[in-house]
Structure 1
Amino acid sequence: MQNLLDGITKFRKKDFEDHKELFKELGNRQKPHTLFISCSDSRIDPNMITGTKPGELFIIRNIANIVPPYRESEEYLATTSAIEYAVLVLEVENIVICGHSNCGGCAASFKSAEELKDIPHTRKWLELIRPVRDMVLKEISENEPEAREWLMEQGNVVEQLKHLLTFPYIRERVEEGKLNLSGWYYIIETGEIFIYDKDCGEFKCEN
């Protein structure tokens, strides 16, 4: 805990002072240009990997960067409501789905219900990427763990892009050219980012 408290002090004395005018401007309003949906993994820092400042990204983080397909419900829908707010209220111009290498959520999707019995809510959440898992199991044998990992993580990004288009207001804005969707795959150990090219169905390195 002490390192967090020390970080607060450092932020207030240096980082805040360096960007005082920016924070003053952000004090009354936000106008982010991009909704960034990424994994909750502690190794992912959206602002760091995109070189953005506070106020530029509206960020949603959850296990395995999942977007549940659109549905109307009386339940408490955290990810869905955040997407709704970003698009309909903040009017973001872009939505990025950012997956990453060595994703624990994607790896857990291959485990049995018995292996996940102690984390029932996580197990339920991962049902949303079961179609991707089933596809990977058909395509890649268990003797190729690295290929299976990459296909699962990248296939999951593509699947979530499809889920975004089940939101009526997102599909409408995309068709009107008012909203851009992009799928990214971030390699933690190298810092490389591969961006999905829907025309060829492949991820291409951008850096």
Structure 2
Amino acid sequence: MKDIERFITGFRRFREDYFGSEYSPFEHLKQGQTPKTMIIACSDSRVDPAILTNCAPGDIFSVRNVANMVPPFEENGGHHGVSAALEFAVCHLGVEHIIVLGHSQCGGINALMKGSCGCKGGGFISRWMSIAIPARERVLAELPDKGPELQQRAAEQAAIILSLENLLSFPWIDERVSRGELTLHGWYFDLAAGELLDYAPEQGRFEVLR
């Protein structure tokens, strides 16, 4: 119950900060949202995209899932939560940027590399992380003699690149990127170093953002 009490106390502070003054930052947000950026981030409790980017409410449209994965475009009868969020952000909100935000020490990627996804009687994580199998195979092929720590870091970054590629499989994303109306970004947050890296496709590597 201590966590719940802390959360309620935190909400009271939030309400005082955002609703307590004569001018409320939420005054214009009551009319709707107009974010220009979507961030697809990991569910990891240490990697909150709004905190990492020092954003205010209404600045970003965010989706969080295990290992910040974007599935490829599919038109079957499944429940496509990430795809639905992408459609809403791109086709209805008209975002101009999509950021795939990965990070070091990712539990989903660790499970993928160790082949230990899922719980007994579960399997949801295994099915979800199967999206990233091409990233795992690429790392094992290119870095077969490296240690598990380096392989995991490489897989975390390769999964970001894979998600960027999967974004372009959505026709309405590919069209907007081609017209220069939408830009895709791959970011990697290094928890240990406190650094943010940006994927530079021309160089084929992640570079520290200064």
TM-score by length of 1: 0.93
1:21 is paired with a residue of what secondary structure?
coil
- Does structure 1 residue 116 correspond to structure 2 residue 118? yes
Q: Which moved more, 1:184-193 or 1:80-89?
A: 184-193
1:110 is paired with a residue of what secondary structure?
helix
The sequence identity of aligned pairs, in percent, is 36
- Does structure 1 residue 79 correspond to structure 2 residue 73? no
C-alpha distance in 2 between matches for 1:100 and 1:112: 19
The runs of 5 or more residues in structure 1 that have no matched partner are none
How far the C-alpha of 1:18 sits from its partner, in A, is 5.9
Residue equivalent to 1:170: 173
Residue equivalent to 1:55: 58
C-alpha distance in 2 between matches for 1:38 and 1:199: 23
Structure 2 counterpart of 1:63, which letter?
V
How far the C-alpha of 1:21 sits from its partner, in A, is 2.9
Q: 1:17 to 1:104 in 2, by over 3 A?
A: same
C-alpha distance in 1 between matches for 2:12 and 2:92: 34
Q: Paired residue for 1:126, among 129, 136, 139?
A: 129
Q: State how many pairs are aligned.
A: 206
C-alpha distance in 2 between matches for 1:104 and 1:37: 16
The runs of 5 or more residues in structure 2 that have no matched partner are none
Q: Once superposed, what is the RMSD of the aligned Cα atoms?
A: 1.7
- Does structure 1 residue 191 correspond to structure 2 residue 194? yes
Residue equivalent to 1:8: 11
How far the C-alpha of 1:53 sits from its partner, in A, is 1.2
Q: Paired residue for 1:160, among 151, 163, 177?
A: 163
TM-score by length of 2: 0.92
C-alpha distance in 1 between matches for 2:37 and 2:167: 14
CA contact (8 A) 2:43 2:67 kept: yes
**How is 1:29-68 mapped onto 2 (pairs within 5 angstroms)?**
29-68=32-71
Flag as ranges the 4+ runs of structure 1 deviating above 6 A: none
C-alpha distance in 2 between matches for 1:107 and 1:19: 48
